[in-house]
Structure 1
């Protein structure tokens, strides 16, 4: 009997039940998909790292090295298990020309430092997509996935290397996975050559750079090792990174996608409860007399409840199974970046199990909620159901007609607005769902807009200027610095520029262990950055430190910190704590000049008189300054650094906008079905007293429109109030050096396009649904 009743209901209410099934399927599917992505991200990276074995600590160095001194230090350091020094030949993008099937181009616009390497023996291996060690023959080349994705390279394309009067041709044989340099935020990438080609080119092209790599019993020992290494005076003309930073930068793009998916799935699950409530209440309202009859003939509450509960359990089960299958089918689209970056892995058993648990959890939550709603049947009496016909809505409070005001406002507008005003509780579901849909769309949209905005550079340890110039450390550091100064001083197109010199000093961390502190000093140092507390350092003994350094030292704004340099110690006041994602997030800023200390790096930020000349000037200066100096328009610098994250987010935002719009329309359909079922007698009476079908349709359109506008406004306010908090919680957990982001909004999209799109779709679907009132008349009440 249960099956027959459920089957007949499915046939009778196809639209409502199909809508509910689809909604359950999407909410469960997104929950499953977010779990699959999260697990796949971390298991894929772990599997890649297991085979590739990236170092726990890596120091890049340009210039000569004393390998015996390095070996001696490594031997004496307790806890170290293995070390190696990898030679890399640095070449510049303009030296590499790719000859493809349809196009020929060079890599001059690539801001990543490109290094040619040969395969290592056992550690820090470069792998193929199957996690196999890549072995090349003479004339073959392995291109990192990072470059192949950006330029659209294909296997078989030819690469011409031209440098120092040497020209050599290679064929792309393999796209390689680099466990260390697989993110645009790392700033370097490696191209693999055969041992024979590498030895032939060594000392003939480019400039040698060394990767000094160390391994420990536990990767956590890398931080203490870094301080000891730097204090030992060993080679350090370059970036130093630890295992934790490597892992986080590798996972950043996919973590951001997981965060957005998880946020949307939680909101959808919440809305699915509302959707279930609509459907159940619509069914109960339509069948109130049948419920009264079943009670009258002696059926218990549990029997009646189970007739409905079994149907919704079956729907929930079908929805979750469908969502699980759908998530598995489309997971390849969402995990494409993971597969490309970390290797073609099948979905792991752990991902399947945990995603199944997530699906079961969604089913149990929906079942529990259905059971809770159906308790309303218990309160319905036979008299309420069969005589009054109002078993669930016993609100007898009327609405003041206010028709005397109809001289100023039309009757339809007056009736519509006053019902929403006086009985807003009856319409609060649409209000809540529209608000959630707006929140669901705008938070990811604002996050994307923030990553794309030029102002995001202030979260990357730099002020917002037109052009960024970086002088690479190495033996020619000071010469290159002088060349940059000369070019900037003699160019009339420049409005102003600021220079920064990076120096290294020492201090003590929160556990009273000696640590190194990298400080960018200059007259503009610390200006325009995003401060969590305090302010920009002024002249004198003031310093601003990054958020991660504040955690490391246990210091706050206003505290004093003792710095050791030039064989002396000096006390500084911490003026503020700022946010930075560069250099692993461990930086500091000061206007104090630290005279006598050697520079680790020089950076210039330049403003032009004519901003339209930015691209042209950057290209011109790049050619003049040559190798060892990177010149980027600030927007290009941000786009290349965050390119992977932005591309993934843009795809997600597009999908979320569609989901949010469909969500708002679906809830409108379900709600109106419920509302029209409840208002059957009222509509029939209105028709009987002379209101036309057009009048009644207009009234419902006005009611839905007013509630939707209120919901959209509430959603925008929620986005402005909660959006940043949601994003900031995720950033704090990630530990990337950013704790608090001020989301940058696009007013046209947030306040005009998004509201108009949602409102237009909701009103369109409302006009379609209210057509059913033509069937309602005074006779149909009986």
Structure 2
């Protein structure tokens, strides 16, 4: 009998039931989507890295190497399982074209390589090592869509033409955040084209299971083996691969948390209205001797049924956006056979969302325990003014505004040229790279002289990068990539301290400072000219290039070989930038527009962030519309007697609608203002926490004020206006004579 009463209650309150299932479904869908995307990304990356045999330690080096030295080191180091030296032929981008499209504007270091002998394999789209023939080339998969390539397209290097036989996934350099891209050719073609570029070596080591990376790195540095380039580790490779698409997943996770919170509050409001309506029925049940736990269990059973429906609807809904969102993941990293794990993880995510909501419902239902049978049956309606429900409208619009604003601000920030200050690069207009040249010092001096005499150049600076051994706190050493030059012209973002100006001052990237356990004012010993030189840490800055582990000093302390040089410049406003860049490219160096550099480096991230921001915007508008429509309809229904009484006293439907329209819209407007404020304060901190783990400290949003002050508020306010109007439309159907029946 009691179950029948509950079932009849569901049928009589279809709006409340439908709304409850909606909130449960959308909460389950977003959390499930987060888990599915995370599983796809991490699973595909791990599968690709394992299949490709990514080394645990990679030391890049330009210059001669003696394999006998590495053989002796590997035999003496217990951590080493296997090792190899891979050659990478750096090409001049101005001499390379894909299907007739020059790579002169590419910000990547493009080069040729042959297949790894024992590990570090470049895999075809089928996950196997391609069998490459002379005259063929396999192109990085990230270039396929960018240049509109297909099997049979051509790659021109100088006067040589190769046929594109297919595309490869490079577990090391798949991400656009990796500054180099490898093209796979046959050994015969590599030897033929060797004169087209400067050869670089990737010295790679596989370590034994359980080996301590720090012990190995200390041993490698102490052995004085070649190490004038960046050092890359397997965790760093995984991080770079995950960062591009992981940012999108972070945004969706943020959406799921906000929507879950909104759902809990909305369902609590619906349940409160339901319990107020059922006050007499609950009192009657108690008068009949039915225990409070049994009553609570019966109501809970209804919501348990709703949660099961919500979970299954959420699972089905999550599968719809999953396919387009994982398309790029599968292209870059391949697919992974997750099988039962994937289904189980999705189911657990949906159940977790429903479990959290059910716990909040259970807590709310306990309020019925305090209600006696007599007070439930005869207590008069409380005379509260119902401000709580209007505050809830304000909270929902604030949360939805926050949800729409933060992903958009994050996208605007990463796509802005100013974001380079978090990459360890000053906010210049032009970047000139001097690499893969036999006499880097001489070429750098020539370019610097030309810039100094160029009337179109407003200001410029020359920065040269060397590698120095640095002492670790535990007594070991590590090679530190140090950039020397005047850093005050185009300063980067500092989270603590200032840039180096004195002879013995050094600034560290945030990740280096964390790893070396140093802060501003501490001393770091560098091995310069065979002697220890003490440098005072003057500042800590943001940097997410070169693995986020760099350092900056003012003056180059010795004649250590320069790994590469970078010159930054800003131009006079009247300068034709394209012509200017073309002129300097003629000197044989890479010249890049910094805005293009950022766009290329974060191309994958920006695509996914744009998609995630659009999804977040759509969900924010949907939730705003549904919640406000629902709340206003429930408020009108709850106050049906008062509305009928007003009509009996002579008020028209239009007048009453205007009153309720104002009541519904004012908290929505206040919520939009609160959401914009929280989005700037809390949203910036949330995104900063994620980027800080990658080396981007002291993060600040780059704000598009047109979107903030007009675009986003207009969209949310438009949805709120339509929703409020739809919610109060029922007022016209309420009759004046209904109040004569008395309150139910």
Q: Is TM (by shorter chain) over 0.5?
A: yes
Matched, 1:579 2:553: no
Q: Which residue is 1:187 aligned to?
A: 179
Structure 2 vs 1, CA of residues 277 and 198 (structure 1 numbering), >3 Å: closer, same or farther? same
2:131 is the alignment partner of 1:138: no
Note the C-alpha offset of 1:775.
2.6
Please say if 1:109 is aligned against 2:105.
yes
Q: How far is the alpha carbon of 1:272 from its aligned partner?
A: 1.1
Structure 1 window deviating more from structure 2 (74-83 vs 602-611): it is 74-83
Does 2:629 correspond to 1:669?
A: yes
| Whole-angstrom CA distance in 2 between matches of 1:329 and 1:698 | 40
Which residue number corresponds to residue 67 of structure 2? 67
Shift of 1:134: 1.7
- Aligned residue for 1:212, secondary structure, equals strand
Q: Cα–Cα, structure 1 residues 75 and 112, in superposed 2: closer, same or farther, change >3 Å?
A: same
What's 1:625 paired with? 587
2:642 is equivalent to residue 649 of structure 1: no
Distance 1:182 1:219, change over 3 A: farther
The count of aligned residue pairs is 740
1:312 counterpart = 2:337 = no
Bigger shift: 185-194 or 556-565? 556-565
Q: Is the Cα–Cα contact under 8 Å of residues 198 and 436 in structure 2 kept in the other structure?
A: no
1:353-387 deviation line (CA, Å, top 9, x unaligned): 22322222222222222222233334445555555
| Residues 1:13 and 1:150: Cα distance change in structure 2 (over 3 Å) | farther
Cα deviations by residue, 1:536-588 (Å, 9 ceiling, x for unpaired): 22233222111122122221112223333023333322111112111211111
Which residue matches 1:357? 348
- Asked if 1:77 is matched to 2:77, the reply is yes
Contact 1:292 1:382 in 2 (8 A): yes
Deviates more, 1:590-599 or 1:717-726: 590-599
Does the CA contact (< 8 Å) of 1:543 and 1:574 recur in 2? yes
Aligned partners of 2:629 and 2:291: how far apart in 1? Answer: 32
8 Å contact kept, 1:39–1:350: no
Q: Report how far residue 468 of structure 1 moved.
A: 1.0
C-alpha distance 523-205 of structure 1, shift in aligned 2 (>3 A): closer
Which residue of the partner structure matches residue 22 of structure 2? 22
Residue 427 of structure 1: aligned partner: 390
State the partner residue of 1:772: 730
In structure 2, how many angstroms separate the alpha carbons of the residues matched to 1:771 and 1:446? 36
Q: Does the residue aligned with 2:543 lie in a helix, a strand or coil?
A: coil
Deviation, structure 1 residue 632: 0.8
For residues 2 and 186 of structure 2, the distance between their equivalents in structure 1, rounded to whole angstroms, comes to: 71
In 2, the alpha carbon distance for the partners of 1:780 and 1:330 equals 47
Unaligned runs of 5+ in 2: none
Q: Report the Cα distance in structure 1 between the residues aligned to 2:530 and 2:377, rounded to whole angstroms.
A: 95
* Offset at residue 640 of structure 1 (A): 0.8
User: How many angstroms does 1:697 deviate by?
Assistant: 0.8
Contact 1:457–1:638 (CA<8 Å) still a contact in 2?
Answer: yes
Q: Which residue in 2 is equivalent to 1:552?
A: 515
- Contact conserved, 1:434 with 1:715, CA < 8 A, in 2? yes
Q: Partner of 1:625: helix, strand, or coil?
A: coil
Q: How much has 1:478 moved relative to structure 2? A: 2.4
Matched residue, 1:682: 642
- Note the C-alpha offset of 1:606: 0.1
- Aligned pairs for 1:501-540 (under 5 A) are 501-524=464-487, 528-540=491-503
What's the offset of the Cα at 1:237?
A: 4.5
Instruction: Tell me which residue corresponds to 2:694.
Output: 736
Q: Is the 2:629–2:726 Cα contact (8 Å) retained in structure 1? A: no
> Structure 1 90/504 Cα, relative in aligned 2: closer, same or farther at 3 Å?
closer
Pairing 1:137-536 to 2, within 5 Å after superposition: 137-154=133-150, 156-163=151-158, 166-170=159-163, 172-199=164-191, 201-218=192-209, 221-226=212-217, 228-230=219-221, 232-381=223-372, 386-387=377-378, 390=381, 394=382, 396=383, 424-524=387-487, 528-536=491-499
- Structure 1 distance, partners of 2:365, 2:575, is 66
SS at match of 2:576: helix
| Change in 2 beyond 3 A, CA 1:611/1:505 | farther
Helix, strand or coil for the counterpart of 1:125?
coil
Mapped contact 1:238–1:473 kept (Cα < 8 A): no
For the residue of structure 2 that corresponds to 1:207, the secondary structure is strand
Structure 1 residues 47 and 266 mapped into 2: Cα distance closer, same or farther (>3 Å)? same
Cα distance in structure 2, aligned partners of 1:651 and 1:557: 40
Deviation at 1:498, TM superposition (A): 0.7
1:607 Cα deviation from its structure 2 partner: 0.9
**Matches of 1:721 and 1:329 in 2, distance apart?**
33
What is the distance in 2 between the residues matched to 1:487 and 1:246? 38
Go from structure 1 to structure 2 and tell me whether the alpha carbon gap of 1:173 and 1:208 turns closer, same or farther (over 3 Å shift).
same
Pair 1:768–1:349, CA change in 2 (3 A): same
TM, length-normalised to structure 1: 0.89
User: C-alpha root-mean-square deviation of aligned residues, in Å?
Assistant: 2.5
Deviates more, 1:228-237 or 1:242-251: 228-237
8 Å contact from structure 1 (residues 35, 354) kept in 2: yes
1:246-273 deviation line (CA, Å, top 9, x unaligned): 1111111122122111111111111111
User: Does the residue aligned with 2:242 lie in a helix, a strand or coil?
Assistant: helix
The verdict on how the C-alpha distance between 1:526 and 1:729 changes in structure 2, with shifts beyond 3 A counting, is farther
Contact 1:62 1:474 in 2 (8 A): no
| CA distance, structure 1, for counterparts of residue 146 and residue 398 of structure 2 | 38
Say which SS state the counterpart of residue 211 (structure 1) adopts: strand
Where does 1:711-726 land on structure 2 (aligned, <5 Å)?
A: 711-726=671-686
- Name the structure 2 match of 1:404: none
Output the CA distance in 1 between the equivalents of 2:374 and 2:12: 27
Kept in 2: contact 1:137–1:194 (CA 8 A): yes
Does structure 1 residue 591 correspond to structure 2 residue 591? Answer: no
Q: CA deviation at 1:181?
A: 0.7
| 8 Å contact kept, 1:286–1:677 | no
Residue 48 of structure 2 corresponds to residue 48 of structure 1: yes
Once residues 558 and 98 of structure 2 are traced to their aligned partners in structure 1, the CA distance between those partners, rounded to angstroms, is: 46
Equivalent-residue separation in structure 2 for 1:483 and 1:233 (angstroms): 32
Residues 723-754 of structure 1, C-alpha deviations (whole Å, 9 max, x = no match): 1222233334xx32224411222222223221
The 8 Å contact of residues 97 and 103 in structure 2, kept in 1 or not, is answered as yes
Indicate conservation of the 8 Å contact 1:96/1:159, yes or no: no
Asked whether the equivalents of residues 228 and 467 of structure 2 are also in contact (C-alpha less than 8 Å), the reply is no
- Are the counterparts in 2 of residues 56 and 219 from structure 1 also a CA contact under 8 Å? no
Measured after TM superposition, the shift of residue 32 of structure 1 is: 1.1
Moved more, 221-230 or 33-42: 221-230
State the Cα deviation string for residues 700-729 of structure 1 (Å, max 9, x = none): 111111111221122122222211222233
Q: Point out the more displaced range, 322-331 or 448-457.
A: 322-331
